[in-house]
Amino acid sequence: MAKEFDVVVIGAGPGGYIAAIRAAQLGKSVACIEKWKNPAGELKLGGTCLNVGCIPSKALLASSEAFEDASHHLDDHGISVSDVKIDIAKMHARKDAIVNKMTKGIEFLFRKNKITWLKGHGKFTGKTDAGYQIDVAGDGGTESVIARNVIIATGSKARHLPFAKVDNRIVADNEGALAFDSVPKKLAVIGAGVIGLELGSVWRRLGAEVTVLEALPSFLGAADQGLAKEAAKQFAKQGLKIHLGVQISEVSATDSGVTISYADKDGHAQKLEADRLIVSVGRVPNTDDLGLDAIGLTVNERGFIDVDDHCRTKLPGVYAIGDVVRGPMLAHKAEDEGVLVAEVIDGQKPHIDYNCIPWVIYTEPEIAWVGKTEEQLKAEGRQIKTGQFPFMANGRALGINRADGFVKMIADANTDELLGVHIISANASDLIAEAVVAMEFKAASEDIGRICHPHPSLSEVMREAALAVDKRALNM
């Protein structure tokens, strides 16, 4: 007889495992289905984010930043070093140890909250009076379970190009790019999005000559263009070559390298030869092979599952969250939706303000924003006022040798309500949290300007940018 659960979550990435934990906290009987295996063949929780995404990439970014500091910037502090070397195998071992610690932590949380981990691939097979039937195919065979409520949290996978076969050795997606066994002399990246910029930055710092090819005519089109221009300037200064408006016609790979044929923004034919290529052209939802047709659920033309504001599908008791639904493909967005759905199932009335979900690119300097850009607000006809303050006027930023960038704040011209905050700086990923809190509470720029910030700290630039909205910055 099939086991029955109040909630079955399909997928144990950030959205799925958080949804399972919250549902268990609320007293539900919960199971979570996950089939992920690491290269050693071990089943692991955490999904793409913890295993081959957010966590390992940030570990490599930190290692590469430390190497670049030791190689080029310690002399600024009066520290002389010579013959700095990078041990790629040891760097990867550190990354893998962090990933293992995090995934083991989720296993502990599952045990603590009495969540059943169903190890295998979950697939709908029908609906009974008791609930939805799901078959879980694993190494030990197939097990059937019944769920009164189902949360689909199967995440996404890298989008591949038909003319660039990914082998994760010469031509890599995010998984392969996190595991290069040596630093390529020349590295090509297709796609100037978040993943392309972050992974391109890792290998550039370690010594690769990096060229990024982007099809769109503008750089970081989703960001405020003031921020995008500053980012482009900083990356160019670092040696990252970014070509916009290109049309790629062919990718030819051999055992020793790759050649990319493309037309540049002026239509001239070009060839780029590299030792390795990273393909980073977005991600697609993992909605295939879920047996959705068995319960009468379909996906839209882009492969996403349509949901309402509370992540409900058209079927009662079936929810979908994270990368398989509308909205940004961000781990923290998936987590919030996981909590929301667990609380909806419990009869609560939670709410997510999607305008207050922050975006972060973990380059150096980091790029982060929340709310709307100046371009979006002007297109809406909104009357706005802006304030901007540079880190070069901040004592803490100068002291840690991270004085590039600025904070830009946008407020309503009449009410002073904060409408968007855009940061390019060291630790922007942490600084943006203050802006998220402010916007959730519908704060005015004046509210941040009147809050005492510690001195010296990077956070003072947030206050100065808020004061600059009314042209009264104190240190500029």
* DSSP 8-state code for residue 343: H
| Active-site residue flag, 332 | no
**In whole angstroms, what is the distance from residue 177 CA to residue 203 CA?**
9
Of 168, 217, 178, 228, nearest to 198 (Cα)?
A: 178
* Dihedral of the alpha carbons of 188, 193, 196, 202, in degrees to the nearest 10: 120
Counting beta carbons within 10 angstroms of the beta carbon of residue 291, is it exposed (0 to 12), middle (13 to 18) or buried (19 or more)?
Answer: middle
Q: Which residue shows structure tokens 């199967």?
A: 154
Which amino acid does the sequence have at 437?
A: V
**In whole angstroms, what is the distance from residue 231 CA to residue 211 CA?**
16
| Angle formed at CA 330 by CA 372 and CA 165, multiple of 5 degrees | 115
**In whole angstroms, what is the distance from residue 240 CA to residue 293 CA?**
46
**In whole angstroms, what is the distance from residue 319 CA to residue 311 CA?**
6
Q: Which residue shows structure tokens 């189902």?
A: 150
Q: Which of 72, 73, 77, 455 is catalytic?
A: 455
Give backbone dihedrals phi and psi of 396, rounded to 5 degrees, phi first: -65, -45
Q: Which two tokens stand for residue 68?
A: 């670049």
273, β-bridge pairs = 259
**Cα–Cα distances in angstroms (integers) from residue 421 to residues 364, 412, 436, 473, in the given order:** 19, 12, 9, 16
Q: Note the residue count of the chain.
A: 476
- Residues annotated catalytic, as ranges: 455
